[in-house]
Amino acid sequence: MSLAGPRLDRPSAIGDEGRPRAASLWIASLAVVAVVGIVGVVIGESSLLPTLALVVGMTVAGIGLLERDGFVIQFVAHGCLLTFGSAFALVLFAAPFVTPSGLAVSGCALALAGIGAAWADIGGDDLTPAATGTGIAYASMVIAAVVLAILTLVAVVGRTVLTGIVGVSSPVGSVVGFLLIVAATGCLVRLALRWLPVRQMTPRDRRPTVERRLTAVRRGLLYTVLGSVAAIVGIVVLSATGVFDVLTALPLLAAAFGALSSPIVVWPLVAVGGVSVGAGAVALLLRRLTRDVTAQTTRRTAAVAVGAGLAVPFALGLVLLVASGEATVGPFLIGAILLVGLLLGPLAFSLVVGSGVVGAALGLLPARATGPAIAATGLVVAAIGLGRANPFVVFGCIAAAILVWDSATFGLGVTAELGHLPETRRLELFHGAVAVGIAVAAVVVAVGLELLRAGLFASAGAAGAAVVLVFGALVLVLPLRG
């Protein structure tokens, strides 16, 4: 695949027919841009072209960047797919149900995507990594959101328990709470020592000594945990028999036991356990992600990282949706947009690129002309969406679709025969001028026939308009495709 944009390296290999020559592709691009701009004006959305161009352009850039190496580039690529790609897919599927002219909007988005894919030399095989990466990122986002919810619940419960231990007033509760914290901290530190690469980061000549010390520390932590549990059982027994009450009758012992649950003692122990297990978890995650450094693992790691990052706005949207009431419409709408976009957007985008992969596999999309085929199809869909209310614009969309397909396929043929190095701009411009002239003439003929039909044969109604459109299409197709 070439760059996600105009070709900069200009390969000279004959048979590199994945993208039309630049002049032919520029003619097709200008036709698509002009039609999308006119459609936006007709339906009353003058900002349709720049809005769709931004969303579609970033989506195509994300698909194009998937072929590059490097974690940062892969991260940016998957970020574009899960944000702009999701928005593009939602426009395709949701626009027809939102506004009467939504089908025309979906067709315009599809046309821009097709012409962008032609510039980036994106074919059916190039959509497979996009579908796979989006699925991995979506799964990681859901898993990360669940883990974040569990960690939040654990943090809330732990904070409640710790607050109860710190605020306890009885000597028995103070000692038992302190021993529980000591046992939990010992377990967390011992677990962290299994994950932290202490031995691997030690010089080779000192590793046996460090290994012996680590073994002694793990054994000491185990004894500490077991001793704390045994001490809790003993204190409970002594408290039940009344012996502990006798001991706490002494003011000095009562003050010492009460000090064990003070914040000065409790929170440092909690910090040691939390920092240890956090550092161990990070070390374990990094070890798993960097075990086999290949292009495939880099791509997968970037997708997982993007999904994990999107778990934060997903959780934020859920919180806003749940916490907002009827009086706070703004937070409710923000939460709903975040949830719908992050839950349904990647699924819709996976469906779009998956349909492209299946279409290419079944031969429905040309292997070397995927972009022009999608662009022409989008213009036809836009024509269908406009309906009978704008017959002239409808025929303009159909004419532009045929013009795009003709110019792009001509450029593909030139590329297949000559490559990208020979200068063929005059040939392409001559063919493009003839094609544009025929398209304009066909539109003029169709408009004249429509005006004649509306004046003399108004009773023909929709059937007459359909005949005019079919005749105009024949006038356009016959000279172009012979």
Domain ranges, residue 455? 22-123+365-481
* Residue at which a domain ends, from 291, 323, 355: 323
Task: Give pLDDT, residue 208.
Answer: 85
> What's the rounded Cα separation, in Å, for the pair 434 and 256?
98
Task: Please tell me whether residues 148 and 293 are part of one structural domain.
Answer: yes
Nearest CA among 410, 475, 478 for reference residue 17: 410
Is 135 within a domain?
no
Task: Please tell me whether residues 184 and 249 are part of one structural domain.
Answer: yes
Is 462 within a domain?
yes
Is 177 within a domain?
yes
Task: Please tell me whether residues 161 and 102 are part of one structural domain.
Answer: no
Residues 6+ apart with CB under 8 A from 207: 199
> What's the rounded Cα separation, in Å, for the pair 26 and 24?
5
Q: Mean pLDDT in runs of 10 for the chain (482 residues)?
A: 41 49 85 91 88 92 85 89 92 87 90 89 81 90 88 82 72 80 88 84 83 87 87 79 68 72 81 86 77 74 88 83 65 80 89 86 78 88 78 82 83 73 77 78 69 54 50 51 48
- CA terminus-to-terminus distance, the chain: 32
Q: How many Cβ atoms are within 10 Å of 209's Cβ, its own excluded?
A: 10
Task: Please tell me whether residues 163 and 94 are part of one structural domain.
Answer: no
Block residue for tokens 């593909």: 412
Task: Please tell me whether residues 73 and 101 are part of one structural domain.
Answer: yes
Is 272 within a domain?
yes
Task: Please tell me whether residues 313 and 372 are part of one structural domain.
Answer: no
Task: Please tell me whether residues 372 and 468 are part of one structural domain.
Answer: yes
CA distance readout (Å), 267 to 178, 191, 256, 264, 270? 11, 20, 17, 6, 5
> What's the rounded Cα separation, in Å, for the pair 346 and 306?
12
Task: Give pLDDT, residue 478.
Answer: 52
Task: Please tell me whether residues 157 and 79 are part of one structural domain.
Answer: no
Is 438 within a domain?
yes
pTM above 0.85, yes or no: no
Side chain identity, residue 190: R
Task: Give pLDDT, residue 18.
Answer: 58
Longest dimension (CA), the chain: 115
Nearest CA among 210, 200, 206, 215 for reference residue 290: 200
Task: Please tell me whether residues 312 and 416 are part of one structural domain.
Answer: no
Task: Please tell me whether residues 182 and 252 are part of one structural domain.
Answer: yes
Return the HEC string of 231-243: HHHHHHHHHHHCH
Kindly state the tokens that stand for 258. 């009460």
Q: Per-residue DSSP letters for 157-178? A: HHHHHHHHHHT--SHHHHHHHH
Give the chain's domain count: 2
Task: Give pLDDT, residue 4.
Answer: 41
The answer to whether the Cα torsion of 367, 368, 374, 376 is positive or negative is negative
Burial class (CB in 10 A: 0-12, 13-18, 19+), 429: middle
Kindly state the tokens that stand for 397. 């969309």
Residue 122's SS3 state is coil
> What's the rounded Cα separation, in Å, for the pair 26 and 168?
76
Is 117 within a domain?
yes
Is 281 within a domain?
yes
Is 32 within a domain?
yes
Alpha carbon 457 to chain centroid distance?
A: 54
Task: Give pLDDT, residue 55.
Answer: 93
Task: Please tell me whether residues 311 and 456 are part of one structural domain.
Answer: no
* Residue at which a domain ends, from 323, 343, 376: 323
Task: Please tell me whether residues 159 and 280 are part of one structural domain.
Answer: yes
